[in-house]
DNA sequence: AACAAAACTTCAGGAAAACTGAAACGTGGC
DNA sequence: GCCACGTTTCAGTTTTCCTGAAGTTTTGTT
């Protein structure tokens, strides 16, 4: 039998949960159904996907297939969502994909403006990393995108949104915030430095070398903030992100770190609701748009 | 009912062929089956996907959905291929993705070397544009990639392969090849200039401005060559690509076009057949590898 | 070592789905 | 009005998918 998406999905859930029963529960079917599906998949591939007697350890092949299958399932679900969104919108639909830091910043205003201007308009917002933002645009899954860096893409125009300098983020009572002298890279990148995804955009060689030794990486911004608020840890973030942090944290420029991050707005040229999309882009780019500065 | 990949596939084929009968034929099922599937899909979305009585014109929504669905179906098929390839290979499997121009250059040698070194090894080669090469690597669909430009990717190492200057490509008897003085941008970018995808990698401003006015773009290299051989047309390509062209064409540097293209070899770090992949990469990078220079 | 619990597989039957050929339908051309 | 063409609907069949119950194997406990 041909490979089907539902087979891959079943396999992925079993691989994730490590148990048939648990997976069957999540998938909303009986154990036996899942068992049979899995057997079908293995029969199709001609090799076992699991190692050992139980389903809690993947074979070498299983690992590989899992990586591919998980991605495919996620991809498929996204497409389905997108198709359904496109179909259910007759008053108009704008799909925005953005890097998380900026998404939180702009969304409230965008929502307020657009719903007032176009009653009945649907807006969909998703956030991921810059790379996936661009992918979503190229694949026609989004009408507007916000990402770091300028990239030339077919059928998509790029507009500079703002620049953002990188700096120290720490608790307000942290010594590095209290000292008069602005901090340097060496001050900041110590044992208590937290590495995060945005750090990788910094090109200053001195800094790149320094963070080589950083042991802890935190991808999720919320967790990062929680750590920083304890007062023990510090990190480096773009100013706009830092300003969005709650009370007890501070942002300071780093004297020998000149890096900026350039954020661009990407506009899909042949969006279905061209006018609405253009209007939305125009609003974000207009002086009327207030950045929480 | 839930959206299924086969529904999307049916829709895509009908949209492409513009006829139920033809599509049913291609899909290997009866007309009525396809008709019902389509009706299901439309029912699910709540709106018609086609305009007019016949299936030969898509509605506005249909266009949108087609774009998304076509991409998804292609994506899915690729994943299935990849999964099956991974499963069927027990002697080892290396999946190489490359930009077309380089693929043709390296593949014969790579194949010869690897099959000798690892009998029973399977090799899979696919070619697409640079962007998709990188995507395939990130998505775990490829072990080795060859693409233009250096990009930092997680879990993937980049090695410079070669640099390539851009220059004029024309028929040997073309005036621009016969004249003693090396051609300039202005000589080359005239009415008979053909724009191609690789041109977009050139950064020299003068050239970028000049090709703005180019009316004809040819993406497929074979077609491009066919045009150039007529003697009426010229284009600009990297030297390595140009040298691969058949007899009656010539390559000449352009005096005021200093651009180079940097080609990198990307190696996925945790490929399943790590040793074979590393060996293959090592071979391509070694001095033993003879570039058809 | 014996027993019980847990984890999974197998099986038979039944529900849902997908498919087919035949007939019906609708539109445009003559 | 009637035919040709492309599509839809229908009824019946085949295929696929799922479930509950019973069976098997492994794991843990006393």
User: Closest-CA residue in chain A for B60?
Assistant: A272
Question: Is residue B4 within 8 angstroms of chain A, CB to CB?
Answer: yes
Q: Which tens digits make up the pLDDT trace of A35-66?
A: 999 999 999 998 899 987 788 888 888 988 99
Among candidate residues B51, B84, B117, the one where a domain is terminated: B84
3-class DSSP state for residue B174? coil
Among candidate residues B68, B84, B100, the one where a domain is terminated: B84
Q: Which tens digits make up the pLDDT trace of A91-134?
A: 788 999 998 878 877 888 888 888 888 888 888 888 888 888 99
**d(CA A109, nearest CA chain B) in Å:** 28
**d(CA B160, nearest CA chain A) in Å:** 20
Rounded Cα gap, residues B151 and B133, in angstroms? 11
Which residues of chain A from 193 to 232 reach within 8 Å of chain B, CB to CB? 200
Whether residue A57 lies inside any domain: the answer is yes
- Cα–Cα–Cα angle for A209, A212, A216, nearest 5°? 145
Q: Do B235 and B184 lie in a common domain?
A: yes
Closest partner residue to B68 (CB to CB) among A65, A68, A79 is A79
Q: What is the pLDDT of residue B267?
A: 95
In a mutagenesis test of the B interface, which of A2, A3, A217 is the best target, namely the one with the most B β-carbons within 10 Å?
Answer: A3
Q: Do A47 and A182 lie in a common domain?
A: no
pLDDT above 90 coverage of chain B, percent: 40
Confidence of residue A34 (pLDDT cuts 50, 70, 90): very high
What average pLDDT score do residues A173-177 get? 90
Rounded Cα gap, residues B283 and B110, in angstroms? 8
Helix (H) or strand (E) holding B280: helix B274-285
Whether residue B234 lies inside any domain: the answer is yes
Q: How many domains does chain B have?
A: 3
Question: Is residue A68 within 8 angstroms of chain B, CB to CB?
Answer: yes
Is pLDDT above 80 for B175?
A: yes
Q: Do A42 and A153 lie in a common domain?
A: no
Whether residue B218 lies inside any domain: the answer is yes
In a mutagenesis test of the B interface, which of A12, A80, A153 is the best target, namely the one with the most B β-carbons within 10 Å?
Answer: A80
Question: Is residue B43 within 8 angstroms of chain A, CB to CB?
Answer: no
Q: What is the pLDDT of residue B222?
A: 75
Question: Is residue A5 within 8 angstroms of chain B, CB to CB?
Answer: yes
Tell which residue, A222, A231, A138, has the closest CA to residue B130: A138
- For residues A240 and A4, the model is more confident at A4
What average pLDDT score do residues B252-273 get? 91
**d(CA B155, nearest CA chain A) in Å:** 14
Is pLDDT above 60 for B254?
A: yes
Is pLDDT above 70 for A189?
A: yes
Closest partner residue to B68 (CB to CB) among A5, A71, A141 is A141
- Residue span of the structural domain in which B44 resides: 5-84
Check CB contact under 8 Å for B64 and A86. Answer: yes
Q: Do B128 and B194 lie in a common domain?
A: no
User: Closest-CA residue in chain A for B137?
Assistant: A68
Is pLDDT above 60 for B212?
A: yes
Is pLDDT above 60 for B110?
A: yes
- Confirm whether any atom of chain C, the nucleic acid strand, is less than 7 Å from CB of A36: yes
Q: Do A118 and A147 lie in a common domain?
A: yes
Q: What is the pLDDT of residue A151?
A: 85
Mean pLDDT is lowest, of A168-182, A213-227, B99-113, B140-154, for: A213-227
Question: Is residue A140 within 8 angstroms of chain B, CB to CB?
Answer: yes
Is pLDDT above 70 for B293?
A: no
Most confident residue range from A57-61, A265-269, B193-197: A265-269
Q: What is the pLDDT of residue B157?
A: 92
Which residues of chain B from 252 to 291 reach within 8 Å of chain A, CB to CB? 272
Check CB contact under 8 Å for A67 and B272. Answer: no
- Confirm whether any atom of chain C, the nucleic acid strand, is less than 7 Å from CB of B19: no
User: Which residues of chain A lie closer than 8 angstroms to B131, CB-CB?
Assistant: 138
Residue A264 (CA) to nucleotide C27 (C1'), in angstroms, measures 52
What average pLDDT score do residues A168-186 get? 91
- Confirm whether any atom of chain C, the nucleic acid strand, is less than 7 Å from CB of A19: yes
According to DSSP H, which parts of A235-273 are helical?
239-243
* Residue pairs between chains A and B whose CB atoms are closer than 8 Å: 89
What average pLDDT score do residues A192-213 get? 85
Q: Do B120 and B199 lie in a common domain?
A: no
Q: Do B217 and B168 lie in a common domain?
A: yes
Q: Do A118 and A152 lie in a common domain?
A: yes
Cβ distance B146 to B96 under 8 Å?
A: yes
Q: What is the pLDDT of residue B13?
A: 93
Q: What is the pLDDT of residue B182?
A: 92
Unique residue bearing structure tokens 């159904």:
A33
User: Which residues of chain B lie closer than 8 angstroms to A139, CB-CB?
Assistant: 68, 71
Which nt sits closest to A33, CA to C1'? D18
- Cα–Cα–Cα angle for B187, B188, B192, nearest 5°? 115
Hey, what are A17's tokens? 């949960």
Whether residue A290 lies inside any domain: the answer is no
Is pLDDT above 60 for B292?
A: no
Residue A1 (CA) to nucleotide D15 (C1'), in angstroms, measures 11
DSSP annotation string for A83-128: HHHHHH-SS-EEEEEE-HHHHHHHHHHHHHHHHHHSTT-EEEEEE-
Residue B80 (CA) to nucleotide D27 (C1'), in angstroms, measures 36
Q: What is the pLDDT of residue A188?
A: 87
Q: Do A137 and A268 lie in a common domain?
A: yes
Q: What is the pLDDT of residue B32?
A: 92
User: Closest-CA residue in chain A for B78?
Assistant: A72
pLDDT above 70 coverage of chain B, percent: 98
Closest partner residue to A68 (CB to CB) among B45, B63, B79 is B79
Question: Is residue B140 within 8 angstroms of chain A, CB to CB?
Answer: yes
Question: Is residue A240 within 8 angstroms of chain B, CB to CB?
Answer: no
Q: Do A51 and A128 lie in a common domain?
A: no
Whether residue B292 lies inside any domain: the answer is no
Q: Do B171 and B155 lie in a common domain?
A: no
Q: Which tens digits make up the pLDDT trace of B45-86?
A: 988 899 887 888 888 889 889 999 999 999 999 999 989 988
Check CB contact under 8 Å for B200 and A75. Answer: no
- For residues A272 and A144, the model is more confident at A144
Residue A5 (CA) to nucleotide D21 (C1'), in angstroms, measures 29
Q: Which tens digits make up the pLDDT trace of B215-231?
A: 788 877 777 888 888 88
Rounded Cα gap, residues A87 and A239, in angstroms? 39
**d(CA B86, nearest CA chain A) in Å:** 7
Percent composition of chain B: helix, strand, coil (DSSP 3-state, to 5): 45, 20, 35
Unique residue bearing structure tokens 């949104």:
A161
Whether residue B124 lies inside any domain: the answer is yes
Question: Is residue B72 within 8 angstroms of chain A, CB to CB?
Answer: yes
Closest partner residue to A68 (CB to CB) among B61, B72, B83 is B83
Tell which residue, A166, A177, A191, A131, has the closest CA to residue A241: A166
**d(CA B5, nearest CA chain A) in Å:** 7
Q: Which tens digits make up the pLDDT trace of B117-129?
A: 888 888 888 888 8
Whether residue A226 lies inside any domain: the answer is yes
Q: Which tens digits make up the pLDDT trace of B15-43?
A: 999 899 889 999 999 999 999 999 999 99
**d(CA A3, nearest CA chain B) in Å:** 7
Average pLDDT, chain B: 87
Confidence of residue A144 (pLDDT cuts 50, 70, 90): very high
What average pLDDT score do residues A271-290 get? 86
According to DSSP H, which parts of chain A are helical?
5-17, 20-27, 31-45, 60-88, 100-117, 130-138, 175-178, 185-188, 205-211, 221-229, 239-243, 274-285
Q: Do B266 and B253 lie in a common domain?
A: no
CB-contacted nucleotides of strand C (7 Å) = 7-12, 17-23, 26-28
Which residues does A92 contact at the CB level (< 8 Å), separation at least 6?
Answer: A118, A120, A121, A122, A273, A276
Whether residue B69 lies inside any domain: the answer is yes
Q: What is the pLDDT of residue B70?
A: 94
pLDDT above 70 coverage of chain A, percent: 98
Tell which residue, A9, A68, A23, has the closest CA to residue B95: A68
Among candidate residues B63, B84, B105, the one where a domain is terminated: B84
CATH number of the domain within which B209 lies? 3.40.190.10
DSSP annotation string for B102-164: HHHHHHHHHHHHHHHHSTT-EEEEEE--HHHHHHHHHTTS-SEEEEES---BTTEEEEEEEEE
Tell me the sheet residues that pair with A194: A235
Hey, what are B122's tokens? 């399977």
CATH number of the domain within which A16 lies? 1.10.10.10
Confidence of residue A147 (pLDDT cuts 50, 70, 90): very high
């Amino acid at each position: 039998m041909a490979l089907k998406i539902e087979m891959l999905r079943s396999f992925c859930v079993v691989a994730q949960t490590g148990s048939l029963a648990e997976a069957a529960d999540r998938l909303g079917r009986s154990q036996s159904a899942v068992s049979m599906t899995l057997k079908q998949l293995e029969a199709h591939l001609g090799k076992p996907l699991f190692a050992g007697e139980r389903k809690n350890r993947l074979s070498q092949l299983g690992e590989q297939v899992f990586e591919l299958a998980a991605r495919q399932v996620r991809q498929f679900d996204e497409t389905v969502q997108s198709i359904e969104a496109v179909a259910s919108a007759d008053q108009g639909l704008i799909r925005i994909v953005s890097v998380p830091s900026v998404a939180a910043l702009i969304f409230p205003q965008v929502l307020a403006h657009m719903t007032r201007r176009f009653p009945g308009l649907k807006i969909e917002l998703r956030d991921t990393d810059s790379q996936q933002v661009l992918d979503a645009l190229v694949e026609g899954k989004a009408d507007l995108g916000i990402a770091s860096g300028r990239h030339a893409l077919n059928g998509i125009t790029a507009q500079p949104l703002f620049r953002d300098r990188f700096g120290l983020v720490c608790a307000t009572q942290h010594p590095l915030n209290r000292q008069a002298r602005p901090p340097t890279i060496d001050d900041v990148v110590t044992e208590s430095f937290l590495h995060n995804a945005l750090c990788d955009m910094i090109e200053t060689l001195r800094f790149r070398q320094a963070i080589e030794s950083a042991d802890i990486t935190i991808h999720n911004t919320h967790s990062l903030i929680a750590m920083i608020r304890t007062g023990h840890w510090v990190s480096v973030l773009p100013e706009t992100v830092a300003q969005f942090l709650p009370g007890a944290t501070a942002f300071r420029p780093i004297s020998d770190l000149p890096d900026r991050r350039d954020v661009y707005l990407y506009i899909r040229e042949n969006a279905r609701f061209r006018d609405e999309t253009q209007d939305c882009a125009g609003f974000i780019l207009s002086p009327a748009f207030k950045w929480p500065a």
